[in-house]
Each structure stands twice: as structure tokens, then as C-alpha cells.
Amino acid sequence: MKNMIIPRFVLTGLLTVLGLHAATGVADEGAVKSENSFDVLFDGSSLDGWKHSGNWSIEEGVIARRGKGGSLVYEARKIPDDFELQFEWKVAKGSNSGVYYRPGQYEYQILDNAVHKDGKNPRTSAASVYFCMAPSHDATKPVGQWNQGRIVCQGTVVQHWLNGEKVVDFDYADEKYRFNVELLKARGGDLAARGAKLSLQDHGDPVWYRNIRLRKLTQDDELDRTPVTPAEIPADVLEAERKKLEGIIQRRSQQKQ
């Protein structure tokens, strides 16, 4: 019998069904202990269930943003209140994008930290809860290489993982994070909001996604709550952040008039 070549996206789908991962797939490090299986949201072959304006396409089993037109939104279902989302992403030099998974400004930042100006502030760098919580450190791979992203939310706990490392872990109901909650609120976000559709941001830059999968969690699922400390933000960066927020609030006020 001759050797049969199986396309990569088919192999990935088969491994997902079997509960396994391809060598180039999403890492298992720190996986939530759960019996719930993943639903594949993008299998590498079609954008069924996704809505966009023609500016996203599939290239060799990968989602690619190639033109203006807005975000790519998964319309088939909303994100559960408690969930685990796994995906892979890569950017071009200076690129900016984001994964929105709850209403408003709830964003897992996608970024070239080395070149884009948002990389100067940990609170707006890759894998941050954008303009809310900084990752513990920069765990990104060089531009052009695939990064493994992971978002875990259970109750009031929010975790962001990057390349197998947990870089964000906080309970927004904890009083010590009041500043972060208020910071996002001032920008127009609400950490208690639920019921959004998954959205991949079009920020005008080249970005690629693959191996997107989701599963619902319950309160019985056990999370890794090993503490992580947000990266320190230099004084000059904090001042720039303050001015940026003032501008956001001022523009919002003018729009209401």
C-alpha cells in the first residue's frame, strides 16, 4: 500500500477529535483539568460560522487578514461564561490585532512588542488584557513565528497564557485589582460583562490565526492558580497611559454632545 499524504488541516482535526495535538499545534502546558471536549471553531478548510466583509481569507489552512473591512466574527455561537479558548497567532513586523472574547473592551492583545508603540507599555503588550492587566513578562516569539495563545475564564478569574506560560492570572473581584477594573471601565469596558461573540480584530495590519478551539468549563473544573505578578510599568509609561486615557474620555464626552 502506498503512503498516503494527509493534509495538515485534516490531520489537526483528527487529532483534536482524539484529544491529541499535532507537534505544531496548541501546547498542553497548564491545561485545565476537565472532561469537556473542545469544539473546533476553525478547522483550516473553511470559514463556515464566521462573518466578515471579504477581507479575511484562508491561505494554506491558515486565516489571514489581507485587506480593510473589519473584524472576523464567529457568529455560530456566543462564548460561554466559563470557557477555555486555544488558538495560534503570528504577526508581521509592527502588526497589531486582538482576540475579543467578552463584550466591550475585553481583549487578548496580539502585537509585535518590539516595534509597535503599544509594546512599550506592558498593559497594552502582547497577551495583556488590553489596557487593564499586564502580563508577567514578554513571552512572545520573534515576528513571523507562531505563538500559542490561551484564554481561561471561570467566574471572576481571568487567565491569559502565551506559549505555554501563564502570564496573566487575576480575580477581578479581589479588592487589590480595583485599579485595573476601574482603568478598563474608564476606557469603556466591564469585566463583569458576558455573552459576546468571538472576534478577531482587524487593526489594519497583517495577522494570521489557526487551530482555534473552544470548550465550556464548569465551576468544578480545576484551574492552575499559581500566582503571577504583572510586569512593572515605568513612571514615564504610566504618565503616557494617563494622558491616553484622558484623550479617550474626552473624545467619548464630545461624541455624546
Q: For the chain, which domains are there? A: 9-252 (2.60.120.560)
Q: What is the pLDDT of residues 115-146, one digit of tens each?
A: 999 999 999 999 999 999 999 999 999 999 99
Query: All 3 cell numbers of residue 140?
Result: 512572545
Q: What is the pLDDT of residues 181-205, one digit of tens each?
A: 999 999 889 999 999 999 999 999 9
Q: Which residues contact 72 (CB under 8 A, 6 or more apart)?
A: 47, 50, 51, 52, 56, 63, 65, 199, 200, 202
Rounded Cα distance between 198 and 98, Å, is: 11
- Segment 170-179 mean pLDDT: 98
Residue with the larger pLDDT of the pair 252 and 153: 153
Q: Which residues contact 241 (CB under 8 A, 6 or more apart)?
A: 121, 123, 233
Strands 83-91 and 147-154: antiparallel
Place of cell 506559549: 163
Q: What is the pLDDT of residues 20-60, one digit of tens each?
A: 343 344 444 555 655 569 999 999 999 999 999 999 999 99
pLDDT at 29: 53
Q: Which residues contact 183 (CB under 8 A, 6 or more apart)?
A: 123, 131, 132, 245
Q: Which residues contact 42 (CB under 8 A, 6 or more apart)?
A: 50, 63, 209, 210, 211, 212
Least confident piece of the model among 185-189, 224-228, 236-240: 185-189
- Say if residue 1's pLDDT is above 60: no
Q: What is the pLDDT of residues 212-224, one digit of tens each?
A: 999 999 878 999 9
- pTM for the full model? 0.86
